[in-house]
Amino acid sequence: MIIYIDGKYYPEEEAKISVFDHGLLYGDGVFEGIRAYEGRVFKLEEHLRRLEDSAKAILLKIPLDRDEMRAAVLETCKRNKMKSGYLRLVVTRGKGYLGLSPDRCKKPTVIIIASDLELYPEKYYREGLRVVTVPTWRNSPAALDPSIKSLNYLNNILAKIEGQQAGAQEVILLNPQGLVAECSGDNIFFIRDQVLVTPKLSSGALNGITRNTVLEIAREAGWKTREDDVRRYDLFTAEEMFLTGTGAEVIPVVEVDGRVIGTGKPGKHTTDLIRRYHKLVTTTGTKIPA
C-alpha cells in the first residue's frame, strides 16, 4: 500500500506522522471517505467540496487547492493500481504541542489512503441488518454541527460499542429531543405509504453524499420523498428500511429494537434502489489515470 503524506508517497510501513499532531492528540481535523468503482472515483468533487466546507467551519486552512487535492487523490489511486476500493482523505491541524490551542500548529497534515473496505459482510445485503436504539445521544448541533465531518468520532464509537454489546449490526442514535438522528456511521431511510423518508439534517444527521445521491435516484425514479422529524415509532411501523453511507452503500434493515420491518426480508423498493445505485456508481465518476 502506498500512502500520500504532505506531498510525498510512502510504503505503508514507512508512513508516519508526529505524535504531536493535533489530529492524533485531540481529533482536530476533518476527513472524507470516498469510493472508487471500476476505475472511477465516485462523486469526487462533492467529497472535496464537503472536505473544504468542514475545514472552513473549524478554521483549518487546507494547504492544497481543489485541483491539487484532486490530482493527489487520483495519483494515490494510480500508484496503488486501484480500480475499485475505498479512499480515506484526512486533513489534520498538524504538529503542535501538548496544549489545546491550535495556534502552535503551523502546517496542516494531509493524508490520503487507498485501501479495501468491507463494512458489512455480503450476507447482510441479502438478508438485512438488525439494529437497535442506544442510550448514547447524538451530539447536539449546538456542541458540534453534524455537517462538520471531523476526526472526533468518539460519540459514534460509544454508540457502536453499545450496539455490539446488544448483538446488533448497527445502532440508531437519537438527538436530545428524542428524534432519530442517524446511525453510528450511516444515514437512515424508511418507506411508509409509498413515501421515502429520512431525518432532517437539523435532527443531527450528517449531510451524507450517499444520502443525497439516494434522494436524487428516488426522485428521478418517480418516488415521493420527504425529509422530516422522525420518531422511533415511525421506524417501528415502517414497511421497508435501509441505511446509506459511502462505506455501507445501501444496505437493508429488517429489524429495529425487536420489531420486524415489513416481511422481515429486504423489501422490493429497497432492492430496486440498490440496483439503481450500483448502476450509477459503476458508470459515473472521475476517471483514475491509467
Domains of the chain from N-terminus onward: 2-115 (3.30.470.10), 122-281 (3.20.10.10)
Q: What is the mean pLDDT of residues 33-50?
A: 97
HSE of 253, CA atoms in CB hemisphere, 13 A: 32
- pLDDT value at residue 24: 97
Q: What is the mean pLDDT of residues 264-270?
A: 96
Q: Establish whether 95 is a catalytic residue.
A: no
Confidence of residue 141 (pLDDT cuts 50, 70, 90): confident
Active-site residue identified among 149, 160, 265, 287 = 149
CB atoms within 10 A of CB 42: 23
Each residue of 66-96: pLDDT tens digit?
999 999 999 999 999 999 999 999 999 999 9
Nearest to 115 by CA among 279, 19, 4: 4
Decide if pLDDT at 160 tops 90: yes
Q: The whole model's pTM is what?
A: 0.94
The whole-angstrom distance between residue 243's C-alpha and the CA centroid of its chain comes to: 11
Confidence of residue 61 (pLDDT cuts 50, 70, 90): very high
CB 189 within 8 A of CB 198: yes
> Phi and psi (nearest 5°) for 22?
-70, -15
Decide if pLDDT at 118 tops 90: no
CB 250 within 8 A of CB 242: yes
